[in-house]
Structure 1
């Protein structure tokens, strides 16, 4: 379920505050490899998927490569296809600006916390 614009703005504010408070922890939590979209990773994923598809078809077609009644090469091909698809899909990012590139001052940090607390209080008062 996609986030509403308001929720996305809140999430971005929380991310900026986290980077401002502890950038080392924030970069550790965010991770280095999967979060950043790269064309190279998408191409690698697509190539692995195609190789897996070829292995799957060849494994089914060539009966001598079977181990008993089990098409081993086809299973390896399927796993390669799955891995390639996961690699390609996880490389697709949101396209938004990274919170690392945005700077915040100490005043904004305190203001952010105060605003969030005030919003939280208002929600409970409305209910």
Structure 2
């Protein structure tokens, strides 16, 4: 069952306050944009397939060192595939994710954006 608009706003507000007030939590969880890119997933899968092939080849020719090398290559391919992209946003940049507007960014915009900004200022005690 989807959340109502009010519940979604409350959840977003709680998330913003958590990111703003708990730096340890933010540093351990990272941000939402740290997902792997399609390119790293494709390259990682190709490397993992080469590793599987080397592992199977090592078993077929009964050479354990080839199998171990194949396993290491396969593990490296998986790590490349799941590694986050290097272009991820900093956790302090919450303005782009619906938080308070970043300094230098206009606080204008739509009526609802202005109302949300006023509400956040009021909640922070900035009359």
- For the superposition of Structure 1 and Structure 2, which TM-score range results when normalised by the shorter chain? 0.3 to 0.5
TM-score, length basis structure 1? 0.48
* Bigger fraction of residues in helix: 1
TM-score, length basis structure 2? 0.48
- Structure number with higher relative contact order (C-alpha < 8 Å, ≥ 6 residues apart): 1
